Amino acid sequence: MKIHAILAALLLHLGLPAAAQPQPDEAGKLIAAGMVPDEAARAAILGKLRELYGAANVVDRLEVGGVVPPPNWADNMTRLLSERLRQVHGGRLQVSGTRIALQGNVANEALRQQVVSEMATVLNPTYTIDNGLVVAGGGQGVLDKTLSNRVVEFETASARLTPAGSRILDEMAEAIKRIGTPRLQLIGHTDSAGKREANVELSLARANSVRAYLIDKGIPPASLSTSGAGPDRPLGSNDTAEGRARNRRIEFRLNG
């Protein structure tokens, strides 16, 4: 995991192997990684995770020191780790300072909203939460299965699609039509190489290229919105070629 600036950061893999060289016996366990300000914060976070998931199911990769936390950060983190979090499967909770991103599968739409609502209730207003939870087996599941962990490819340092990228989008267009052409957000992501500002611009340009391609394939323009996250939401380690390749991607996310 790449740590940004000097903020305290926490990354939890919920029932998945860690992105950075997982060990065979870690599959299905919760991986806690990132930087925490002191031993007290580390102990508090690990204690709460072990209470929720069982000590044998928590893998500790937390590092101590070298970061400056927001006020009462450790207390907020332990409040964030509630019983409701156990109802998220196959996902991750990523915290960088006061920014929180939660991804994973839940059983129904009501639960998808409840998990994040309860998180927001226990935190102060300085925290922002990106709700990336999806209802397993719903329309999002169709899109995720169609994409099947593949990456929509572009020419190097460009928003021009490669032939391989176009073929994937042909499949995605058909999947979007199958689920009733819902409102869909196209989110561009990059790795961390180069300047952040340029990466954010490139990620948005690539998302807009995907939007234009899907419109050409018959998806209504009003159904598609775009954003560029640049390097801010990595799936893998930017320290490896494999991780960087995973981070250069287009995310297809149902709005709602």
Which mean pLDDT values do the consecutive 10-residue runs of the chain (256 residues) have? 44 50 54 91 93 88 88 92 84 88 79 86 89 77 85 90 95 90 90 94 97 96 94 85 87 82
Tokens for 210?
A: 């995907």
Q: What pLDDT was estimated at residue 21?
A: 37
Query: Given this model, what pLDDT does residue 28 score?
Result: 65
Q: Please, what is the end-to-end C-alpha distance for the chain in angstroms?
A: 29
Predicted local distance difference test score (pLDDT) of residue 18: 32
Q: What angle do CA 169, 171, 173 make, to 5 degrees?
A: 70
Asked if residues 200 and 240 have their Cβ atoms less than 8 Å apart, the reply is no
- What is the predicted pLDDT for the residue at 137? 65
83 phi and psi, to 5 degrees?
A: -60, -30
Q: 202 φ, ψ to 5°?
A: -65, -40
CA 136 to mean position of chain CA atoms: 16
Q: How far apart are the C-alpha atoms of 48 and 53, rounded to whole Å?
A: 9
- pLDDT of 8: 61
* pLDDT given for residue 148 in this prediction: 85
- Do residues 25 and 58 make contact, with C-beta atoms less than 8 angstroms apart? no
